[in-house]
Structure 1
């Protein structure tokens, strides 16, 4: 596998984890601190979380595609188990978007569904972090170093 194939899952995992971090720990809290009403902040946050779902899915698919050799199925041993965390993170993103978010928007048992959505976001963040951590180790074992220009 060429060096770019080893770097691709690292870049995708970094984008996934970094975008989750930026949305969850910076952008959304700033919305609630600076917009005139919590309702307006909530509507805007919902749009950001929805966009984040698609970023997560794109990054996860890139990680999955890069975890296999051409013509093979993805290897479960890729990056010492990162594949399982990738699939779990993608499932959490989909569940949050299509099962939890509609209930929050409908204001259905808001405390329960907001708590569930927050927990799923936090778990997805942790999955993306594990994928990033394991992918950087995989790239290192493949002989790709940060200063390597190839």
Structure 2
């Protein structure tokens, strides 16, 4: 397997795995074990910010690895993974810069927490599709 393809698989695995570990394991454990929900929420907010940057970084690595040196980017890269990379990156950016500030300001908390959670799950699904397609691309 070429190094670009290995790098793509690694970036996709890191993105999906970190989303899974933080959103579905670590944050629920924070709320179950820290003394107050406020403390858990503050810690979770920091973790979600870090996760947003991990997702954006992995997306950039994936975008850079989708083209060979001197070639144009391929829209059909990894069986159509490009749209899911861009979608996941957009969701990470919107979560960080549009939703998170509203949650931190406690502005209509129920609405923005629901929107943020839905966007996180959608980003998780995008990262999973990217991982599936990139890992399967070597079989073609």
TM-score greater than 0.5 by the shorter chain: yes
Q: Which residue of 1 aligns with 2:78?
A: 79
1:29-64 deviation line (CA, Å, top 9, x unaligned) = 000000000000000000000000010011011111
State the shift of 1:73 in Å: 3.1
Structure (1 or 2) with the larger CA radius of gyration = 1
Q: Distance in 2 between matches of 1:48 and 1:74?
A: 32
Structure 2: tracts of 5 or more residues without a match: none
The yes-or-no answer on 1:114 pairing with 2:113 is yes
Q: Which residue of 2 aligns with 1:125?
A: 124
Report the TM-score, using the length of structure 2 for normalisation.
Answer: 0.97
Q: Which residue of 1 aligns with 2:57?
A: 58
- CA-atom RMSD in angstroms: 0.9
Report the TM-score, using the length of structure 1 for normalisation.
Answer: 0.91
Alignment length (residue pairs): 140
Structure 1: tracts of 5 or more residues without a match: 142-150
1:41-98 deviation line (CA, Å, top 9, x unaligned) = 0000000000000100110111111111112332110011100000000000000000
